[in-house]
A and B are shown apart, each in its own frame.
Chain A
């Protein structure tokens, strides 16, 4: 094979590497990429073959880092095979903690796969994850392995963080080209300044504002006509590519994606024009308007067909633009209950219903909040956190001032910003607090009481994570919780907590061992990114309480991502997320504003959350919305789908050839993972009998990747029956032979059940639906029903399942055959010939 150093060609070859070596490999204890991750990796490589960059906007916890590592590994592999390496990668993360996670997820120094040079704690010097000529180039991380450890090193990764890392002292070196070059050289470890093949920027939403030092510094080093370090491709990782002002924020990220234009790779001129802030704003505004109109009409029970059509058309425009630069799998977020009121009936008794809002109990307390609320208009956003501290915890401020002996220098500096009358009123009210206001604040009281009820009797495996904006609030909560629950361990993670201690506390939060585990973590914004604070793997459930919230919904999403980690296969338990707020105060205003901003961003990235989308309308009450008339899947069709599979299915690369050997009455299946020659010629090839729709259904239904035991049984069964078969991570696909007709059946696992699915029809009009009832009247273990797949499409499906843990071979065979038969009955009746 001959591959030039042209990155486009390398990206094309890397797709083959992904297909051949990383997808569905089953060896020892690890498995390949999850199916959606595989699809995203492949999609990004396809795009990078002809495009300067891509934003990977997977939701938090879906394995963005793993996707990036797979991309790096595949590219490195191609260069290694052709001796055209090493692959040179720049990796930028927002801070030391996140960068440390990258080190953790890519191996360790001890196993020789990862070499850490420099010190993460040293802000002034860059950190290298890999930098050696003879390092075995394989990349190992949980769930992923690629490469031959005996081959020579062909990967250099230069890594640093951009909060005080690579951008440190930008003001002093940014204007001097020589100093900029020196900085660039420092980032490259002092070696010669050569172009980077790939620049990966983690948590790239941190660079949405072009006027920050960090954005300017990165632009100076990697962007522009003559960058200090040219780059050939860019991948941005962020779950929240835009939140506050979608158009300019996306335009800014696209400008980062265009860093490679100095090396001659750029977006087409037409796309560049469409990605300018004004055209984007126009498009997004139009889309938001038509969707809001459709929602209003539906809520009012008015005819809405025309507005639906209009919204669908604009949605397509939005989708066509966004798909060029963003990829986001349309995967379930996991077992999460998020309500803007009470999470469930049990919690409702404990946490006051935020849909109605918490109430202040005394006139003085209320006056205080109103005074601050009224001052908002004359204040800038950056003092909002101070207001929130007051609204969410008056006593927190008292405690802090008692500790420090008065207002901090920052608070004193901020004082002139507040109108004099408000300051005076506040002063008077603060003086009166000791006598007339109950010191335990309503929200603190609610949170403490809820946590106390939860943990008083059985604290084990019931983790609680509380986020608040200010350390003072967290300290107060810790104080109160420790008093209320003396046997429960409550710990604080804030700016003062060292990196080492943070890791220790998070490990203890994940620990199940009584005596050494942390039950409650109270965290400030330092823990909002890049950390898994999801409690023990075998937890009953986890609570996340947003004691107060930032204006920026991206930060709320980031917080949620700490507990919702759907890509981690071993995690159990529902995540309950709640947002208590105080009614008629700035708290409520922030909360509702945040929801509205979240709604716009979610709408553009694709959602089925009707309740959240209703924030786009004039709906102001949180608790009086009846959305039962609007189905989530119906709404999903009106929002862009940026999933790779909905654009171009990049299916599994080759079928598994099952050869059967019969000896002494036993049947064993020998499975060859060598691709058939036809499939080898076309890396996109997949068995023609396995339809995208069925893959989507299997992905949507499977609750876990298939166990090896069931996979082997399915393989043997297929071999016994002489039927073709093929598998991916979620399912085993068997092409069932029904006396001349064929049906594809997907076998998946849902907890301890084995479920068989077969596609009967992709489009079922109402006129024929009753016939499903007629077919269901025939006896058998399989039934026809309507289900929604990962793309939000409704399908008519035959399914059968066992209900108990035991499943003998006879029953497994019955499930398989009857499922195929049930689907085929429909197909024979309505299509006459084999369809699926």
Chain B
């Protein structure tokens, strides 16, 4: 009989374990590979990516599993429209952040709506918990700063 207790956990299981370590019961799995973190006032999401490596990869390079932390900043509806001047303003406002990307993407709640979101990629292979915490803090701070600036 083969037991699974000594086998290497899958990257996704590792991601779940990390989130559980950091957020405990607040890390609620909403669907496979997607978690909702924290309370309803300032929701942070985590999504598991099996391969976050660059698109233009050289052959033979192994996949790079990662967690993407996502903080939806603004609901852009189903159309996802943003005025260019607003986009420039948002990108300018990011200049203080060290690690985040500002993007439009499908809302992680799978509602089909588009969100303006701050996103950070954390590679599981070299994931450091302290860094995870720092990025979670930064992503939260961006949301707060942005709210104050509005």
Q: A residues near B, CB below 8 A?
A: 738-739, 750, 753, 755, 764, 766-767, 769-770, 772-774, 776-788, 794, 796, 799-804, 806, 808, 810-811, 814, 818, 821
A774 to B128, CA, bound (A): 28
Return the 8 tightest CB-CB contacts between A and B, nearest first.
A783-B101, A766-B84, A803-B134, A779-B52, A801-B98, A776-B103, A776-B101, A785-B94
A contact residues around B95 at 8 Å (CB): 785-788
Q: A783, B94: Cβ atoms under 8 Å?
A: yes
B87-129 residues at the A interface, CB under 8 angstroms: 87-88, 91-92, 94-95, 97-105, 119-121, 123, 126, 128
Cα distance A802–B132 when bound, in Å?
11
Q: Which one, A738, A770, A783, A808, contacts B100 given CB within 8 A?
A: A783
B100 nearest in chain A by CB position: A783
- Decide if B135 is an interface residue (CB 8 Å cutoff): yes
Q: Which residue of A lies closest to B120 (CB)?
A: A781
Q: Is the CB of A811 within 8 A of B98?
A: no
A779 to B94, CA, bound (A): 17
Q: How many residues of B contact A (CB 8 A)?
A: 37
The answer to whether the Cβ of B138 comes within 8 Å of any Cβ in the partner chain is yes
Structural contact, B131 and A777, CB atoms closer than 8 A: no
- For the complex, is B31 an interface residue (Cβ under 8 Å from A)? no
Q: Which residues of A contact B105 (CB under 8 A)?
A: 777
> Is B126 a contact partner of A811 (Cβ separation < 8 A)?
yes
Query: Is A786's CB under 8 angstroms from B131's CB?
Result: no
The reply on B44 being an interface residue by CB < 8 A is no
> Could you write out 10 A-B pairs with CB less than 8 Å apart?
A764-B88, A770-B82, A770-B104, A773-B102, A779-B68, A780-B52, A784-B101, A786-B92, A799-B98, A806-B128
Query: What's the least CB distance linking A618 to chain B, in Å?
Result: 29
Q: Which of B87, B101, B103 contacts A769 (CB 8 A)?
A: B87
Whether, in the assembled complex, B55 has its beta carbon less than 8 Å from a beta carbon of chain A, the answer is: yes
- The interface residues of chain A, by DSSP majority, are classed as mixed
Q: State the Cβ distance, A343 to closest chain B Cβ, in Å.
A: 19
What CA separation (Å) do A794 and B94 show in the bound complex? Answer: 13
A516 to B6, CA, bound (A): 63
The CA-CA distance from A802 to B122 in the complex, in Å, is 11
Q: How many Å lie between the Cα of A777 and that of B68 in the bound state?
A: 11
Residues of B within 8 A of A755 (CB): 98
Given contacts A766-B84, A776-B119, A779-B121, contact A800 B91 (CB under 8 A): no
Distance between Cα atoms of A801 and B120 in the complex (Å): 11
The reply on B27 being an interface residue by CB < 8 A is: no
Q: Name the residue of chain A whose CB is nearest to the CB of B83.
A: A766
Closest to B121 in A: A779
- With a cutoff of 8 Å between Cβ atoms, the chain B residues found around residue A794 in the complex are 92
**Beta-carbon contact of B99 and A800 below 8 Å:** yes
Chain A, residue nearest B118 (CB): A783
Please name all residues of chain B whose beta carbon is closer than 8 Å to the beta carbon of A786 when the two chains form the complex: 88, 91-92, 94-95
Q: Which residues of A are found within 8 Å of B103, using beta-carbon distances?
A: 773-774, 776-777
- Given the complex of chains A and B, what is the CA–CA distance between A114 and B98 in angstroms? 46
B102 → A minimal CB distance (Å): 6
The residue on B at minimum CB distance from A631 is: B92
B85 proximal to A (CB < 8 A): yes
Contact A802/B101 with A769-B91, A810-B126 known, Cβ cut-off 8 Å? no
Give the CA-CA distance A263 to B88 in the complex, in Å: 56
Q: Known: A766-B88, A803-B99. Contact between A780 and B134, CB under 8 A?
A: no
Name the distance in Å between A583's Cβ and chain B's nearest Cβ.
30
Q: Looking at the complex, which one of B58, B97, B119 makes contact with A739 (CB distance below 8 Å)?
A: B58
Bound complex: CA A773 to CA B80 (Å): 12
Partner of A803, one of B66, B87, B123, B135: B135
In the bound assembly, the distance between CA atoms of A780 and B130 in angstroms comes to: 19
- CB of B49 within 8 A of chain A? yes
- Answer whether residue B54 sits at the interface, using C-beta atoms and an 8 A cutoff: yes
**A783 partner residues in chain B, CB cutoff 8 A:** 94, 99-102
B126 CB to closest chain A CB (Å) equals: 5
Most buried by A among B99, B120, B123, B130: B99
Chain A contacts of B121 at CB under 8 A?
Answer: 779-781
Interfacial chain B residues near A784, Cβ < 8 Å = 91, 101
Let me know if A773 and B104 touch, CB within 8 A: yes
Give the nearest-CB partner of B149 in chain A: A628
Q: In this complex, what residue of A is CB-closest to B106?
A: A777
Query: Do residues B55 and A778 form an inter-chain contact, with CB atoms below 8 A?
Result: yes
Which A residues are in CB contact (< 8 Å) with B92?
785-787, 794
- Which residues of chain A are within 8 angstroms of B91 by Cβ–Cβ distance? 769, 772, 784-786, 796
Closest approach, in angstroms, between the C-beta of A119 and any C-beta of chain B? 53
B143 smallest CB distance to A (angstroms) = 16
A104–B66 Cα distance when bound, in Å, is 56
CA distance A776 to B126 in the complex (A): 21
Contacting residues, chain A, for B84 (C-beta < 8 A): 766-767, 769-770
Which residues on the A side are within 8 Å of B68 (C-beta)?
Answer: 779
The answer to whether B128 touches A804, judged by C-beta atoms less than 8 angstroms apart, is: yes
Q: Which residues of B contact A804 (CB under 8 A)?
A: 128, 130-131, 134
Among A739, A772, A796, A808, max chain B CB count under 10 A is at A772
Partner of B88 from A769, A780, A810 at Cβ < 8 Å: A769
A521 to B104 Cα, complex, angstroms: 54
Specify which chain A residues have a CB less than 8 angstroms from the CB of B97 in the assembled complex.
785
**Nearest-CB residue, chain B, relative to A797:** B95
Is A773 a contact of B87 with CB atoms below 8 Å? Answer: yes
Give, as a whole number of angstroms, the nearest-CB distance from A747 to chain B: 14
A509 CB → nearest B CB, Å: 33
B100 surroundings in chain A (CB, below 8 A): 783
| Cβ contact within 8 Å between A780 and B54 | yes
Whether the Cβ atoms of A776 and B102 lie closer than 8 Å is yes
A773 and B82 contacting across the interface, CB-CB below 8 Å: yes
Identity of the chain A residue whose Cβ is nearest the Cβ of B92 in the assembled complex = A786
Per-residue interface assignment for chain B, residues 6 to 43, with 1 indicating a CB less than 8 Å from any chain A CB and 0 otherwise: 00000000000000000000000000000000000000
Please, how many angstroms separate the alpha-carbon atoms of A811 and B125 in the complex?
A: 10
Nearest chain A CB to B118 CB, angstrom units:
9
| Assembly CA distance A782 to B119 (angstroms) | 10
Given contacts A739-B58, A773-B103, contact A803 B138 (CB under 8 A): yes
Q: How far is the CA of A635 from the CA of B128 in the complex (A)?
A: 43
Contact B126 A785 (CB under 8 A): no
Question: Assuming the A-B contacts A769-B87, A779-B66, A810-B126, are A803 and B55 also in contact, with contact meaning beta carbons closer than 8 angstroms in the complex?
Answer: no
For B51, give the chain A residue with the smallest CB separation. A779
Compute how far the CA of A821 lies from the CA of B54 in the bound complex, rounded to whole angstroms.
Answer: 8
For A800, give the chain B residue with the smallest CB separation: B99
Q: In the complex, which of the residues A770, A799, A808 contacts B87, with contact meaning CB atoms closer than 8 Å?
A: A770
Q: Complex: how many Å from CA A814 to CA B123?
A: 10
A74 to chain B, nearest CB (A): 37
Given contacts A773-B87, A779-B49, contact A801 B82 (CB under 8 A): no
From known contacts A773-B103, A811-B126, infer whether A802 and B119 are also in contact, taking CB-CB under 8 Å.
Answer: no
Cα-based distance from A780 to B51 in the complex (angstroms): 10
CB distance from A802 to the nearest CB of B (A): 7
Quote the shortest CB–CB distance from A631 to chain B (angstroms).
9
B145 CB → nearest A CB, Å:
14
Which residues of A are found within 8 Å of B130, using beta-carbon distances? 804, 806
A818 touches B98 (CB 8 A): no
Chain A residue with minimal CB distance to B98? Answer: A801
A326 vs chain B, min Cβ distance (A): 30
| B94, closest chain A residue (CB) | A785
How many Å lie between the Cα of A770 and that of B103 in the bound state?
Answer: 9
Most buried by B among A739, A753, A786, A788: A786
Q: How far is the CA of A251 from the CA of B104 in the complex (A)?
A: 56
Q: Which residues of B sit under 8 angstroms from A814, Cβ to Cβ?
A: 123, 126
User: How far does the alpha carbon of A802 sit from the alpha carbon of B58 in the complex, in Å?
Assistant: 25
Chain B residues closer than 8 Å to A764, beta-carbon distance? 88
CA distance A808 to B94 in the complex (A): 25
Contact residues in B for A806 (Cβ distance below 8 Å): 128, 130-131
Which chain B positions have C-beta within 8 A of A808?
126
Q: Which residues of A contact B126 (CB under 8 A)?
A: 808, 810-811, 814
Output the nearest chain B residue to A771 by Cβ-Cβ distance: B87
Q: Closest B-chain residue to A806, C-beta based?
A: B128
Contacts of B120 in A (CB 8 A): 781
Residues of chain A lying within 8 A (CB to CB) of residue B82: 770, 773
